[in-house]
Chains A and B, each alone.
Chain A
């Protein structure tokens, strides 16, 4: 089982048809898969907060959006997630490559990586942390709940997740 393929299949099965991406090394296989899918509009953004706005607009136009980013981008997105998504009940699937935790070789990733789960908790955004074997089921369930309830759902994909196969 390939982690990138599992996430891609899960997004497809969840009915996601609009994806904004900001790169992470762990997303390097997934981003081209999304980009080459004719049924998904893919918009590379310059910064995560910008992407949150693009996804909100896409939702208002009838799309089912997701954003893919590294957890550092959470810090760049907090105001938008609160004063746009939460204020207007705009749903969003947030696929996060979670750096700065066990297995992280770069020290600069650690402070933000450690705080990411707490930041999501403060924002009342549920964080799902699936192993590869449950990834598809978890992503589908989280997406369904978010879009039915007008909320946001985060999928935290650890360093270990990307090394599973």
Chain B
């Protein structure tokens, strides 16, 4: 399974629900946009490393909503402290899905530390996250998305990207339509 396959399952499982999804910068956002664009997807266009943090802030602000952040191994390695903060805040409405392909997929598949000795499942456990799982095939991923409401789900995939177009939305459109769903009515812009 490559990341695109994992995102297809994610879109199939969460797409028609009102789950708020934060999609990581680069190909994860572009691929999700092509697979299933919806207002409740927030596409990151910059700020590598912060998908897990944006998701955490959103989950804490909206404890009544399910929040799912899609992150990459390279991005999590860039902001590993985020796992400690997530562990200590432990919002029960927040699931961080790390698509771990052992590569910086958006910049030419240079290998990351997880292609070597680093194990993000163990890192998340060591950071104190209570609910941590790792899957590497499609049926296990489907099952976990049905049963895991919070914590960290590491999805091991092969490196490799689909050729997908750029996102046709401008930043102002992305956040405006997202906040129509994510924010209480008085805050919508």
Contact = CB atoms under 8 A, between A and B. Distances in A.
B179 to A, nearest CB: 6
Query: Could you say which of B79, B88, B184 has the most chain A C-beta atoms within 10 Å of its C-beta?
Result: B79
A87 B171 contact: yes
B49 A49 contact: yes
The B contact surface, by secondary structure, is: helix
A58 B58 contact: yes
B89 interface: yes
Contact of B53 (A41, A44, A57, A90): A57
B45 interface: yes
Contact of A57 (B56, B84, B184): B56
The A contact surface, by secondary structure, is: helix
B174 interface: yes
Given A49-B79, A54-B85, A56-B54, A41 B60 contact: yes
B81 interface: yes
Give the size category of A's interface with B.
20 to 34
B47 interface: yes
B99 interface: no
Interface in B14-56: 22, 42, 44-47, 49-56
B57 A62 contact: no
B56 A54 contact: yes
Contact of B175 (A18, A83, A89): A89
B57 A53 contact: yes
A52 B50 contact: yes
A43 B81 contact: no
A45 B61 contact: no
A65 interface: yes
Interface residues of B, number: 40
Contacts of B84: 46
A46 B89 CA distance: 12
Contact of A87 (B46, B65, B179, B189): B46
A62 B175 CA distance: 12
B109 interface: no
A25 interface: no
Contact of A60 (B46, B58, B85, B171): B58
A58 B52 CA distance: 12
Given A50-B50, A83-B46, A84-B50, A57 B61 contact: yes
B82 A50 contact: yes
B142 interface: no
Given A55-B57, A57-B22, A62-B61, A50 B85 contact: yes
Contacts of A49: 49-50, 79
A65 B42 CA distance: 19
Interface string A29-55: 000000000000101111101111111
A43 B85 CA distance: 8
Contacts of B55: 57
B77 to A, nearest CB: 13
B183 interface: yes
A41 B89 CA distance: 11
